[in-house]
Amino acid sequence: MNGNKTFTMIKPEAVAKGYTGKIIDQFIVGGFKIIAMKYVQLSLTQAQEFYGIHKGKPFFDELTQYMSSGPIISIALEKDNAVNDFRALIGSTDPNEANEGTIRKRFAESKSKNAVHGSDSDENALIEINFHFSSKEIIS
């Protein structure tokens, strides 16, 4: 059975350009419930830990430096079939390949500066939520 939680970050360029409200609205219109949310700037070490599964990949340094370069919004979300439905809502990693109307098609610049992160599995969603939030900060 698919899980009902996923995790997202609105990435630095999308926050800096003022897209936060429009992006969160699209989450809610898409049927997701916010169960925790935080405005925060990651340190480089935190970004490296968060994206640890990508360590060694050619884009790791660019991605982690970028993700620690400015404030982000981290959000835990709830919906049936959350991981897959959220990935459909945000679109492909590469905004050039994202479908019309998806968040990345509307707001992303490039593969790294792709407006939002989305968990890739139920297991990682829980790990990522626990990375950013204590149990007391989650209101489900």
Among 82, 114, 125, 129, binds ligand CMP (CB under 6 A): 114
Note whether 49 binds ligand CMP by CB under 6 A. no
- The residue written with tokens 């360590």 in the block is 55
| Closer to ligand CMP by Cβ: residue 46 or 93 | 93
The one among 14, 23, 42, 63 contacting ligand CMP by CB under 6 A: 63
The alpha carbon of 123 is separated from its chain's Cα centroid by a whole number of angstroms, namely 15
Assess 105 for contact with ligand CMP (CB under 6 A).
no
Per annotation, catalytic residue among 117, 119, 122, 132: 117
Hey, is 109 helix, strand or coil?
coil
Q: Are 111 and 57 in contact (CB under 8 A)?
A: no
Q: How far is the CB of 31 from ligand CMP (least distance, A)?
A: 20
**Interface pick for ligand CMP out of 93, 124, 126, 127 (rule CB under 6 A):** 93
For the chain, report the end-to-end CA distance as a whole number of angstroms: 19
Give CA separation, 66 vs 81, 105, 138, in Å: 30, 20, 27
> 75 is written with which tokens?
């959000």
Contact between 39 and ligand CMP per CB under 6 A: no
20, 84, 92, 112: residue in contact with ligand CMP (rule CB under 6 A): 112
Could you tell me which residues come within 8 angstroms of residue 32 by beta carbon, excluding any fewer than 6 positions away?
A: 6, 77, 78, 79, 82, 85, 86, 89
List active site positions: 117
- Chain residues binding ligand CMP by CB under 6 A are 54, 59, 63, 93, 111-112, 114, 117-118
